Amino acid sequence: MGTLVAVGAPALAKSGAGHARSATAITQVFGDGIRLTAVAVAYDTPIQGTNLSPASFQVEGRTVTGAFTSTSADPADRAASGHFVIVTLSPADTNALLAEKITPPGDNKTGATPGSSAGSNGRGGPGNAGDIPFYDTTYKLPRATLFQTGPLETIHDQRVAASNTALTTTMVKNPIVDDFRQLEFHDAKTGKTLRYNLFVPKGYDPKRTYPLVLFMHDAGATSDVTRTTLYQGLGAIAWASPQDQAQRPAFVLAPQYAEIIADDDGHTSAMLDTTIDLIEELASRYSIDRRRLYATGQSGGCMMSIAMGIKFPDFFAASFLVAGQWDPALVKPLVRQKLWILVSQDDDKAFPGENAITEVLARNGAKISRATWDGTWTAKQFRTAFDKIDAQGSPINYVTFAKGSVIPPGASTAGASGHRNTWRIAYTIEPIREWIFRQHR
């Protein structure tokens, strides 16, 4: 420790200044879930960022990848100096992911969980619409223990000496997630109560109108913990990011369903009508443009999006359908709608299901553009591919990920891997979000 201090200390710095006051765990949501990705350390004197080194910090059980100064515990407030040092951690660490799976009681042998292949309806699905499943996923509290193993330079040319005292996080900051409000809707029409997350555009001005995006999670995120749908992936988070909101200010609605909302037998729960009623209530309370309501969902949420489009064909201006299927005999009302459909060729249920749906739509006069993309592409490659299919000007675009291209290296291609990995990538493709917002009813 003494050697680190001697080597790392600025030549002209004075010793004995300041100390760390507290630490905040910082999370980030990825396509496959929320991870602990940084620790913000608060100091009682401003730290100089010029000579700051990640080698000056260690975090138990984690890989430190960087360090920079900030004016707050938010990494977005990065600055040349500040009272906070943001210590970044590798999201690839095995313990970075905060989701934890729980084995259902009395089912240690099969380990059947919502969204698995051992569903209660006997057809390989998650259960029947309206069922309240075992909630198989929990999210542990982000927590980290940090050591300042090297000296830091303050803006007053003094030194914050290294210390062997552990600093454990006592607060949590969840960028973007924390911008959503957790609320409940009591539907007088159906008698149902629905928990939901609502993002209201920053600087909301009731004198102007805003679009609204509805995101509906898959069966695996079924829970009575309201934030679960925000923790699970990017389906809601992507639309509320500072970058997206700067270009496309919008409300983002992410219901948290405590029951299975759609099943493989073509049934939906009463939450279909309750969700529509919630949107109507929000549109009456806020300045929301009813001509620019958009729906999206993954797996079960995709199925619910399709069912909504069938029952209320004039409600949404466009839908982004990710890794779902439905009875093709029922989808004719979608013919005149604006749809972006995305599925992996490795998905043994949704891929043939979407093929059947688009065949019905095409037979009934729908103009459909088709393309096969590679799930490993860069953002630039996705943009190029998007521009090519978008130039055809079709109201329905059907894109499939090439076989094997969405499966992470070393992962199995069996079961629902192609299914889950479709939505891991889907909401990272910004041009599709742009396309959705271009559509008006």
Compute φ and ψ for 44, nearest 5 degrees. -90, 5
Question: Among residues of the chain, what percentage have pLDDT more than 70?
Answer: 89
Question: Given this model, what pLDDT does residue 118 score?
Answer: 36
Is residue 259 predicted with pLDDT exceeding 70? yes
CB 358 within 8 A of CB 389: no
pTM above threshold 0.85:
yes
Lowest mean pLDDT among 39-43, 100-104, 298-302, 400-404: 100-104
Placement of tokens 């299914």 in the chain: 419
Mean pLDDT to the nearest integer, 333-350: 96
The strands making up 33-48's β-sheet, listed across from edge to edge, are: 64-70, 81-89, 33-48, 20-30, 171-173
- pLDDT confidence bin for 105, thresholds 50/70/90: confident
Is residue 2 predicted with pLDDT exceeding 50? no
Q: What is the pLDDT of residues 166-210, one digit of tens each?
A: 999 999 999 999 999 999 999 999 999 999 999 999 999 999 999
The backbone region for 115, taken as left when phi is positive above 0, alpha when psi lies in -120 to 50, beta otherwise, is: left
Is residue 143 predicted with pLDDT exceeding 80? yes
Question: Among residues of the chain, what percentage have pLDDT more than 90?
Answer: 83
What six digits make up the tokens of 67?
């360090």
H or E element, residue 394: none
Is residue 52 predicted with pLDDT exceeding 80? yes
Q: What is the pLDDT of residues 265-277, one digit of tens each?
A: 989 999 999 999 9
- pLDDT confidence bin for 133, thresholds 50/70/90: very high
What six digits make up the tokens of 216?
């509906």
The backbone region for 203, taken as left when phi is positive above 0, alpha when psi lies in -120 to 50, beta otherwise, is: left
Question: Given this model, what pLDDT does residue 407 score?
Answer: 79
Mean pLDDT to the nearest integer, 393-415: 83
CB 191 within 8 A of CB 48: no
Q: Could you please report the per-residue DSSP string of 338-382?
A: -EEEEEETT-TTHHHHHHHHHHHHHHTT--EEEEEE-TT--HHHH
What six digits make up the tokens of 374?
């590679």
Amino acid identity of residue 38, one-letter, is A
Give which of 224, 284, 233, 209 is closest to 255, Cα–Cα. 224
Give which of 233, 232, 171, 227 is closest to 199, Cα–Cα. 227
Is residue 112 predicted with pLDDT exceeding 80? no
- pLDDT confidence bin for 157, thresholds 50/70/90: confident
CB 26 within 8 A of CB 75: yes
CB 350 within 8 A of CB 400: no
Q: Could you please report the per-residue DSSP string of 272-307?
A: HHHHHHHHHHHHHHTTEEEEEEEEEEETHHHHHHHH
Is residue 243 predicted with pLDDT exceeding 50? yes
Question: Given this model, what pLDDT does residue 125 score?
Answer: 58
Question: Given this model, what pLDDT does residue 111 score?
Answer: 39
Top pLDDT among 86 and 264 is at: 86
Q: For residue 152, what are the β-bridge partners?
A: 160
